[in-house]
Amino acid sequence: MTAEDRIKQTVTANDVVLFMKGTKMAPQCGFSQRVAGVLNYMGVDYADVNVLADEDIRQGVKDYSDWPTIPQLYVKGEFVGGCDIVTEMTLSGELDQLFEQNGVTYNKDAADKIREANA
């Protein structure tokens, strides 16, 4: 199975996937830590893929999304963005809307607290 096939299988088999450096419990870069922190705080159930463990996946996910950086967030098989985009979407409420539109469970109060803390 090619890296592209493995990536496609992962993003279609899971409602929310974060390709990141490290794991959701032990991120290994600040950008991955920020996105994982938001998802963890909001109580989102997501699959984490450590790109540092597999060079084919690390490069493959960049090719798959045509996006040059890690982390990369996918919701219902669709590429959402990297750290800056996820941060902006969290602060604007767009991430809440995306989760709601796709039936992804998350803690609305936690999302509101993130926005309050950054207002």
Task: Find the CATH number of the domain harbouring 90.
Answer: 3.40.30.10
Q: Which domain holds residue 30?
A: 3-117
- Number of structural domains, the chain? 1
- The distance from CA 91 to its chain's CA centroid, rounded to whole angstroms, is 15
Order the strands of the 47-50 sheet from edge to edge: 47-50, 16-20, 72-75, 78-81
Q: Which helix (H) or strand (E) holds 36?
A: helix 30-41
Tell me: the pLDDT tens digits for 55-79? Answer: 999 999 999 999 999 999 999 999 9
How far is residue 39's CA from residue 33's CA, in Å, rounded to a whole number? Answer: 10
pTM: predicted TM-score of the whole model, two decimal places: 0.96
Tell me: the pLDDT tens digits for 12-56? Answer: 999 999 999 999 999 999 999 999 999 999 999 999 999 999 999
Residue 29 assigned as binding residue: yes
pLDDT value, residue 119 = 85
Indicate the DSSP class of residue 82.
-
